[in-house]
A and B are shown apart, each in its own frame.
Chain A
Amino acid sequence: MDGLKENFINKVASFIDYLSKHLPDDAVARLKEMSEAESVPRAKVMYECMLRNLRLADETDRPVCQDTGLIQFFVKVGTRFKLIDSLEECLKEAVCRAYLSAPLRPNAVEYPSEKNTLTDVGEGVPYIEYELIPGSDKLDMTIYLAGGGAALPGKAAVFPPGAGFEAVARFVADAMVEKGVNACPPLVVGIGIAGCMATAAKLAKRAALREIPSSNPRSEIAEQEKVLEKILDETAIGPQGAGGSASVMAVNMECACHHPSSLGVAVQFGCWAHRRGRIVFDGGLNAEVLSHGGFKS
């Protein structure tokens, strides 16, 4: 068991290390597409900096951004997955190892002492969200390096349900224009709709981690995603908030039923340096990385 565990920890750690230095293939493709479509000269200069930065990070084996974030795991774990009992311990250890190998920036700060733990691990960090897959022996894990800048403009609120899509659209557009400018656009925008603030926020995060491009399977929601994308693009914030013809990499919505008297809405932004990865382990703990074609374990 210890050998299996050790092997699992090392695989996760090496993927976190890689993830800090490479964006997923879909995000890179989207940035290239946006760069080519951009016509504003200053915005073009910004895209050139961003794409050159990705090439340099790969060539020099360095983190894409100095803010390597707080590490978050979104875990779909089979109830028969071999390491289910020690999963949290393994993931924490993987973060500690990636912190040293990459190296990642120490970003876990205790409240209210403001003391940095200097390991990227601490109370509630890394964040781990679990979904159980009954009867399965697999582990399907999305890992996200959540930077501070893109967390700042995040917002949640509860509206009376009558406020509807109009309130949602205004809420998201206001958040983006007020503070999204400093969150390293073009942004990934995740929106959650549910019965209360907390459940909406959880869905907003999931929405922000969807593949790019992707649409909500429900056509009426997919339609709202498209409308919101047009609205946010037309704010003309552009890459780095310096002005441009498009401002978002994706606008994704995830919804749950809400209460007859409350409509919870949350918006979660992701910066252009969208360090999101997906790794799947089978019952024999063999790993497959689905997000990064270039990853060799």
Chain B
Amino acid sequence: MIKLSLPVTEEDVRKLKTGDEVYLDGNLVTGRDRVHERVVADKIMPEVSLKNGAVFHAGPIVRGDEATGFETLAIGPTTSMRMEKLEADFIRETGVRIIIGKGGMGPSTAAACKKYGAVHLMFAGGAAVLAASKVALTYGVKWADLGMPEAMWLMKVKNFGPLIVTVDASGENLFEKNKALFAAAKEAALKKYL
């Protein structure tokens, strides 16, 4: 088990290997499809710096408003692969080092992780209350015009995990490897039972 505090250093991130179990402390932001599009396609940079930070592929249920304060009720990860087309550019543009989501990511993200020193971590999909229990504070929202799931929520997390490294900064990719294993196992099973 590895504990990391945000913001992280390139050195912290380069030490991680696929399969490692990680717990995070510190500030992160949420960002899914529309946040990625805004940064990469529309070339609008977020007001908060993501340099050496973490982006969580998640669309939470949040209660409250700016005046009374926010509370994150549920925040499970969404499928990271949806961001595959834009993630490499997102890493380059923002300097983000930790990407958190559901499942794994593809070759383009893995190449960017290697080049810029970043990793992808998975959290159990659907375990939204467990993840929310690790959010110590939801201290703001940017791009609220995108709607609750798609907006960029600003959060402080404590002991956020278990997070499993699926892509490390050497470009190793756990889910790509698994994909080949699952496909081979499927063929073997079809042959065995049919």
Instruction: Report A's interface with B, CB cutoff 8 A.
Output: 42, 45-46, 49-50, 52-53, 56-57, 60, 62-68, 103-107, 116, 147, 149, 152, 165-166, 169-170, 173-174, 176-177, 181-182, 184, 227, 230-232, 234-237, 239-243, 271-273
Contact = CB atoms under 8 A, between A and B. Distances in A.
Contacts of A42: 19, 164
A261 B128 CA distance: 46
Interface string B67-92: 00000011110110100000000000
A174 B190 CA distance: 10
Instruction: Give the bracket for the number of chain B residues in contact with chain A.
Output: 35 or more
A65 B81 CA distance: 19
B169 interface: no
A50 B102 contact: no
Nearest to B21: A45
B148 A62 contact: no
B189 A234 contact: yes
A240 B124 contact: yes
Interface string B132-175: 11000000000000011100000000000010100000000011
B178 A234 contact: no
Interface in B107-150: 122-130, 132-133, 147-149
Given A105-B148, A242-B164, A50 B127 contact: yes
B130 A49 contact: yes
B26 interface: no
Given A152-B79, A173-B189, A182-B102, A65 B182 contact: no
Nearest to A20: B74
A63 B73 contact: yes
Q: Kindly list the 5 A-B residue pairs having the minimum CB-CB distance in the complex, ordered from nearest.
A: A49-B124, A53-B127, A234-B189, A66-B74, A273-B126
